[in-house]
Copies of this chain bind each other. A is one copy, B any other.
Amino acid sequence: MTSATPLMRPPSPGRRPGLGRPGQPARPLARFREAVDDASRKSPARFAILIFTTLILLFTAIFMLPISSTSGTVTPLADSLFTAVSVICVTGLATVDMATHWSLFGHVVIFVGVQIGAIGVLTVASILGLVVSRRLGLRSRLMAASDGNPLRAHAGPVPEGQAVRLGEVGGLLTTVAVSALAIELVIGILLIPRMLIDGIPFGDAVLDSFYYAAMAFTNTGFTPNASGLAPFQGDFFFLGLLMVAVFLGSIGFPVIYAITRNPLHPRRWSLHVKLTLVTTGILLVAGMVLYIVLEFDNPRTFGAKDAGTTVFESLFLSTMARSGGFSTIDISHLHDSSLLVTDMLMFIGGGSASTAGGLKVTTLAVLFLAAFAEARGKRSIEAFGRRIPSDVLRLAVSVALWGATIVAVATIVVLQITKAELSHVLFEVISAFATCGLSTGLTSELPDSAKYVLVVTMWMGRVGTVTLAVALANSQRRQLFTRPEERPIVG
């Protein structure tokens, strides 16, 4: 680390005379490329924040247009902004009735928005992960340590350099976009027959199928029809496909990539892949069991359903709580105990560099692995035969504190504004922070001031957590001296 600082400085523009030379035909494009290149190199986190915020403002303007709404009138700023943030951050919360408020044009904008948002998040998160791993990799190489970050494997033959170039960004963007659209296409095609069997006209069936596929893989959770998932109650095939799509979106691009490359050799998977899969599996099952135990005798949710349906829908809810945002039941009918379980599942969220939000499963895993290591008296944090360096724990602590602070502040402010029930306010705030989109119905009744609080919460939760890690990793500074050690008593 001490010797990494000079290497991390970007080379001065003057060293690259091939670009922007006067009189060349590619001059304006080259200038633009260089400007983007420069911005993404100097501060990739700030660059990502800029892109996301610009997209949100652009979509806010489009949603305000009369052409976007069914009524042909201007949608108020608060609702347009909320929808734009909810779409670009693939959250799925809504202050208007998404199925009836927007025109066909509006729905196309929403469809395009979630694709841009999801692919953008996947790409940016992957790139930022690449930046971090590259820099840490560089450091590690200097320190003669091994580096097993999966993000370094999937960007093709990249030279070990200081920054990510626009060309690499383009390559990664293409890979991510093609993978995402391919998965959505397959899910969409599989959904069509089901829609046709249900007697939906062919045109609507095709549109709705791809809309559902996109909303599932991007972990957004909007439904094209006003009644939501109600027509598909008990349809294990349809709901199962949604679950698969949500799962694939929420597991994270690095994991999908690693499994695709080595589907039959789990031993070759990196620590990140194994940690993500095991933690996700534990959380899915734990959520399912808790929902069954807490809700099996609740007449308003699973009390009236048979055992098989209860188990299936509990697993469905457990999957959706992690960021999918679809729901077969009225969330406000859940017991407060189940709402709290959902709060925790939402707060944890999905995998890193995925369309899911939250702290991310590896963050939780690292925190618990640290506690286990402490309990077992081991000096190093270990998992799957590997040692996790202590700076990863510090990063996990930072992410967790960041999340807890945002949720606490937003909850207190919304409570004070609305004087609504804590269980519902906390649920909506965590759903916004973790871009989950499940709702007790409170969001649609909020005053404008509280809508803006949720807008900031969604923005912080999505853009913040994705860029926090790289912003922190980028700020590594050389330390010239070591201070004397002293240990306070904790606990």
Contacts and interface: CB of A to CB of B under 8 A. Distances in A.
Copies per assembly: 2
Contact of A146 (B337, B379, B486): B486
Interface stretch (A201-209, A305-313, A416-424): A416-424
A484 B275 contact: no
Nearest to A392: B487
A3 interface: no
B391 A379 contact: yes
A489 B401 contact: no
B271 A488 contact: yes
Given A362-B489, A370-B398, A487-B148, A379 B479 contact: yes
A482 interface: yes
Given A375-B472, A477-B378, A394 B370 contact: yes
B489 A129 contact: yes
A489 B254 contact: yes
A479 to B, nearest CB: 6
18 contacts: A140-B485, A151-B489, A294-B412, A294-B416, A336-B419, A340-B408, A352-B491, A360-B489, A360-B490, A371-B398, A376-B477, A378-B479, A380-B482, A387-B483, A388-B488, A393-B397, A395-B491, A469-B489
Interface of A: 1, 129, 132-133, 136, 140, 145-151, 254, 270-272, 275-276, 290, 294, 335-337, 339-341, 344, 352-353, 359-360, 362-363, 365-368, 370-371, 373-382, 385-399, 401-402, 408, 411-413, 415-416, 419, 421-423, 425-426, 465-466, 468-469, 472, 474-477, 479, 482-491
A-B pairs, 3 with minimum CB distance: A377-B475, A422-B423, A148-B486
Given A271-B486, A290-B412, 4 more contacts: A386-B483, A387-B485, A390-B393, A469-B489
